[in-house]
Every structure is written in structure tokens, then in C-alpha cells.
Amino acid sequence: MTMSVDSHPVAGEGVRGAIDPGSLEDLLRHAVRRAADCASLDITVTEGTVVLSGVALRREDRSRAGFACWCDPTVRAVYNNLTISPGLA
């Protein structure tokens, strides 16, 4: 079962002060690349909302990529728009 939107309350609002979206995108990109194999990956972060797009090699990589985005407490929602590479799913 896959979900397109995951959301949970942020523990300890203000745990980290103002965050540079570029550095958060870098952190998430590193986390996703460690957790999942993706043929292509694009990550956009806007006010705590993460949007993943690109191509995951397998279904489990798509799921792992979405879960990896929760590594930062400022993430409020994850929209996992990764598709599965044809023929490898």
C-alpha cells in the first residue's frame, strides 16, 4: 500500500531556527540517496512541505525515499510523486 501524502505534527515547534531551504533540500537529497535507489530525483521544499519527483528503481525504493524525508523535524508533509522505473518494478 502506498500513500501519496504523509503528514504528522512537528515535534517541538522551533526545534531548529530558520532553515535555509537549500540546505534542507541537500540534507533530504542525501538521506533519500542513502535509503533508496533512484534513476532520477528532484526534491523541492516549501515551508516544510517536501515534494519528491523522479524515478525510483523499485516500489520499495519509492517508499523508502518518502520515509527518508522525515529525518528532519521541520518536515510537515511529504508528497511522494516518484514513479517506478518500467520493467524493474
Grid coordinates representing 1 are: 500500500
pLDDT digits (tens, 9 = 90+) for 64-81: 999 999 999 999 999 999
- Number of residues written out for the chain: 89
Contact 35, 69 (CB under 8 A): no
Average pLDDT over residues 18-41: 87
More confident residue, 58 or 20: 58
Query: How far is the C-alpha of 64 from the C-alpha of 34, rounded, in Å?
Result: 10
This prediction has a pTM of: 0.72
Which one, of 62, 68, 82, 75, lies nearest residue 30 by Cα? 68
Grid coordinates representing 61 are: 525504493
